Structure 1
Amino acid sequence: MASTKPGERKLQILQTLASMLENPKGEKITTAALAAKVEVSEAALYRHFASKAQMFEGLIEFIESSIFGLINQISEQQEDGLLQTQAIIQMLLNFSERNPGMTRVLIGDVLVNEDERLQVRMNQLAERIEMAFRQSLRLAASQGHLPESEATVRASLLCSFVLGRWMRFAKTGFKQLPTEQAALQIAMLLR
């Protein structure tokens, strides 16, 4: 059997964990089941991650770097505040749709029986998303698209909208797509 390069096994473990999270039944994932899927021993898992919580942290790091990297790109490329906001919402919904297992991490349902700091971290991620909306909406206000006083309230509303779409996607067994009729709804929210 060919040996894997450093980091490859770790990535394989995280990819396998993410794919196991795509199971719409939402069963608890054990390290034994994960090890069997990766075709390694549980001890081998623990050589790469000190705990199951660290495995979830690896997924959260991937989510954070992906989402906020894309938000930064959108902010740099789109100068219109409303179009920037719209693009961020669409990206967040697309990310969820393309990564159903990650959606279960985003809404925190797979973190319920795990280390509490993981849920705290997901709450912080939601706060950072809301802050990104606030920045884009303040830009939109400075461009005369909406009153400055609405930026904070709308940012909260948009964050709730995205979280709700993620939640419905996960809770329907990934059948109700987060992007379904989203364009019209986003347009209504940004009027």
Structure 2
Amino acid sequence: MNFQTLSRRSLFLRENNMSEETKPARRQYRRTTERRQEILVAVVQLLSDPDSTGVTTKDIARYLGLADGALYRHFSGKAEILQELIGFCDDSFERMFDEINAEAEVTMVTRAMVKARALLLFAEANCGLTRLLTGEALSSEGQQVREAMLACLEKAEKALCSSLQLAVVQREVPNSEDPAVRARLIMSYVQGRWARFVASGFEEKPTADWPQAQAVLFGGLLAS
């Protein structure tokens, strides 16, 4: 799953859904939208540098060859840029989970496993975004940005919990199973793998040793 590919696709859809306007207005819309996308992609690329710990507006402007003030024509500040990227992560997770939930003849436990692995694969495909997901690039940001990331992670955990709850309802697993506790455990593992990925300079892949981890995280459920 690639950030730039998805961004261009969403940009294409937005342009095609526009109402009929004058050509100059359409060109201006495209220029503004494309510049916003360039800024977002630039931030992700900067955060993808193994030696990076965060970015400033000056870093972004320098990377794009723009004056510092040019960024403020498109975003109110770095916080808005980061919130949009967090929103992208949130939307991506939701799309991934919707696709998994739409699969027919798949047990709920299997869906939970696939969701967990999808979160790991997302990180592998999006190094810069993983630096956001771990919170490393947010240490100096305000409460609103950190709360947006926390909400994104909580939604991902709830998606895991939902599949596990349905597994109990459908008697795939014993009634003694606590879906919320299991989901927290799984999400803690996912976040730990994300953190190791960042700490290793993106060398230690999140999905490394997944078969063994899966056996521990979902221990007893597959054999039920």
TM-score of the superposition, structure 1-length normalised? 0.93
Q: Work out the number of aligned pairs and report it.
A: 190
Aligned pair 1:125/2:159, yes or no? no
**Per-residue CA distance 1:73-129 (angstroms, 9 max, x = gap):** 211225410110011011100000000100010011101101221111111122111
Aligned pair 1:28/2:54, yes or no? yes
Moved more, 83-92 or 67-76: 67-76
Counterpart CA distance in 2 for 1:130 and 1:147 is 21
Q: 1:138 to 1:37 in 2, by over 3 A?
A: same
Cα RMSD (Å) of the superposition?
1.7
Q: 1:182 to 1:53 in 2, by over 3 A?
A: same
- Unaligned segments of structure 2, at least 5 residues: 1-26, 220-224
Conservation of the 8 A alpha-carbon contact between 1:32 and 1:42: yes
**1:183 paired residue number:** 211
Counterpart CA distance in 2 for 1:52 and 1:87 is 34
**Per-residue CA distance 1:155-187 (angstroms, 9 max, x = gap):** 110111111111111111111110101132113
Conservation of the 8 A alpha-carbon contact between 1:71 and 1:88: yes
1:23 is paired with a residue of what secondary structure?
Answer: coil
Moved more, 18-27 or 49-58: 18-27
1:28 is paired with a residue of what secondary structure?
Answer: coil
**2:91 paired residue number:** 65
2:50 is paired with a residue of what secondary structure?
Answer: coil
TM-score of the superposition, structure 2-length normalised? 0.80
**2:184 paired residue number:** 156
Which stretches of structure 1, 4 residues or longer, exceed 3 Å deviation after superposition?
none
Structure 1 residues 36-55: aligned runs within 5 Å: 36-55=62-81
Aligned pair 1:138/2:165, yes or no? yes
2:54 is paired with a residue of what secondary structure?
Answer: coil
Aligned pair 1:99/2:126, yes or no? yes
**2:136 paired residue number:** 109
- Unaligned segments of structure 1, at least 5 residues: none
Larger Rg: 2
Q: 1:180 to 1:16 in 2, by over 3 A?
A: same
